[in-house]
Chain A
């Protein structure tokens, strides 16, 4: 990576731009030093070591992309770098999985909508209203995260048979939303507790009811927390395999996680295409990391600890 020589330069210690003199051109005006400082040498060593760690831990993902980009069925003659781009694998993957990818998107978006609609008012009430029993609800919300999905699926399947929700978008969306609701309630509540009381008081004095205050004051202030909750619910639903596997008995509603599972069963030889499907189903995670880095870190620590 091109990062290494750069990081060895003495002045580049603060990657977070706004500190110090942001107006001076970065390297031109810097005084030349004969030797690296101790700190810079340590930084350089750390960065090199960091790149090594990354290379080892991310190798499987590199290999996924590498296999997907190479022609043939990806058997023993695979080379370490793709020399030419061969779209064949992606074409075959797209032909078989485009519909499933669309299903995944629809189900995940549906789950996000259900989750935010249900979780937001609850989080607000649990954070701001003095209600007898509110602590019990928070407690129960924490506990739900510990119930194994297969146990839920076991009972849910039988209930869904009776309600005729098996093989339906609605059924899968509702089940997938349950993956995000406790998490989102806890995350949003933790944020809404910190909104200053005076701000809400002002809204009430203006004559707004609780719902008005929630919609016009609390929601805009909680934008980041809402985005985090929504992004994670999307990812939970997108990654869901268990509910897709158990709550569907036909091909009517088949997300890509189920698609890839059946694909390895049916096309063991065609690893190139299987890896292309794997790449396609990893795209949301990659996008999430690129566009919403700070929300991801906030979500992992916020949702689990608080």
Chain B
């Protein structure tokens, strides 16, 4: 041990201090550390229906990995996940930013309005998905009814029932869910920027757009990074919303890495292949975790 030769009482006091952390540490080891390791191990094991009765899952080398990477559904899910994540982030962020700037004007009742806008983000995702499933219904959903009444479309749009539209619809709903989170954090960031800076830019003759892009946005960069990376982490693993809206269909057109893991592990009981997809998901997340921690380094030390 590299610890200095501590005297008895000092060492016991250090031990006592660690006791405060021990429950949390144990908890995180059991509920985050253990699953991480177990998933890696499971990805080399053969799970099947039989495992359910015998409890046996023999090691089978790289078989799971080979099967998953040869599976067209995996490639499709990876692609859907990418499109879904990029589309969602672009929409959530730009609309969230626009609203954050708008609410920074602080007009009467703006505080109340900001709070109410949080509702879509606060209700359970499955509930949001259920509500939208009703709204987007091809035959009797209010969206198609309105679009047709306004003569914006000639026929009912198959929002969730056609493979051509389903992924787009899921992205739109997820944008709706994510706007409040982006708005609140970006709004908080905007409040930290001293208003004199913007005023100085205006005195220098900069218009509102110029001021936003060359003064506000650069100052907001750390907050922007945090929002985007946190958004990425919660979007890339999407599962609840897709299950509630489309169950991954139609024709697997909204299958993501998250839903594929669920399908493989819990519906086909092939936990080995499910673990492979899960591991891919972790690798993707970890890359962005690295970016997040780099951006957030100052915050941790504080």
A residues with CB within 8 A of B? 3, 6-7, 12-13, 15, 42-44, 46-47, 49-51, 53-54, 57-58, 60-61, 63-64, 67, 74-76, 78, 117-119, 121-122, 124-126, 129, 131-132, 134-135, 137-152, 154-159, 174-175, 177-178, 181-182, 185, 190, 193, 210, 214, 235, 238-242, 245-246, 257, 260-261, 264, 271, 274-275, 278, 281-282, 285-286, 288-289, 293, 296-297, 300-301, 304-306
Contacts and interface: CB of A to CB of B under 8 A. Distances in A.
Nearest to A114: B27
Contact of A154 (B39, B123, B128, B176): B39
Interface in B107-166: 107-120, 122-128, 130-135, 139-140, 142, 145
A47 B109 CA distance: 7
A7 B237 contact: no
A176 B102 CA distance: 36
B286 to A, nearest CB: 7
Nearest to A119: B24
A57 B123 contact: no
A146 B262 contact: no
A288 to B, nearest CB: 7
Interface in B43-68: none
Contacts of B120: 57-58, 60-61
B31 A156 contact: yes
A152 B226 contact: no
Interface in B10-46: 14, 16-18, 20-21, 23-25, 27-28, 31-32, 34-36, 38-39, 42
Contact of A181 (B27, B107, B185): B27
Given A119-B24, A122-B21, A281-B124, 6 more contacts: A57-B176, A174-B31, A238-B124, A260-B127, A285-B119, A289-B118
B271 A122 contact: no
B278 A281 contact: no
A148 B258 contact: yes
A50 B110 contact: yes
Interface string B192-208: 00000000000000000
Contact of A147 (B14, B36, B126, B243): B36
Interface of A is mostly: helix
B289 A146 contact: yes
Interface stretch (B69-77, B212-220, B293-301): B293-301
A154 B35 contact: yes
A149 B293 CA distance: 20
B266 A157 contact: yes
B105 interface: yes
A150 B123 contact: no
B230 A304 contact: yes
Nearest to A14: B108
17 contacts: A43-B107, A58-B117, A121-B24, A137-B21, A140-B28, A148-B237, A151-B261, A159-B38, A178-B27, A261-B126, A274-B134, A285-B119, A289-B116, A289-B122, A293-B115, A300-B181, A304-B185
B260 to A, nearest CB: 9
B48 to A, nearest CB: 13
A132 B21 CA distance: 12
Nearest to B137: A271
Contact of B107 (A47, A78, A245): A47
A142 B244 contact: no
A57 B175 CA distance: 11
B176 A60 contact: yes
A135 to B, nearest CB: 7
Q: Name the residue in A58, A210, A214, A241 with the highest tally of chain B Cβ atoms < 10 Å from its Cβ.
A: A241
A150 B23 contact: no
A140 B33 CA distance: 10
A49 B107 CA distance: 11
B127 A242 contact: no
Q: Name the residue in B35, B113, B299, B301 with the highest tally of chain A Cβ atoms < 10 Å from its Cβ.
A: B35
A294 to B, nearest CB: 9
B28 A142 contact: no
A271 B131 CA distance: 9
Given A300-B181, A306-B302, A143 B20 contact: no
B27 A264 contact: no
B17 A242 contact: no
B283 to A, nearest CB: 11
A141 B293 CA distance: 12
Nearest to A209: B16
Contacts of B36: 147, 151, 155
Q: Name the residue in A42, A124, A143, A154 with the highest tally of chain B Cβ atoms < 10 Å from its Cβ.
A: A154
A296 B14 CA distance: 36
Contacts of B168: none
Q: Name the residue in B24, B42, B258 with the highest tally of chain A Cβ atoms < 10 Å from its Cβ.
A: B24
A239 B241 CA distance: 12
B83 interface: no
Contact of B131 (A137, A151, A275): A275
Nearest to A247: B266
A142 B108 CA distance: 37
B126 A61 contact: no
B285 A146 contact: yes
Contacts of B288: 146
A118 B131 contact: no
Contact of B223 (A53, A54, A305): A305
B233 interface: yes
Contacts of B184: 297, 300-301
Nearest to A140: B28
Nearest to A259: B126
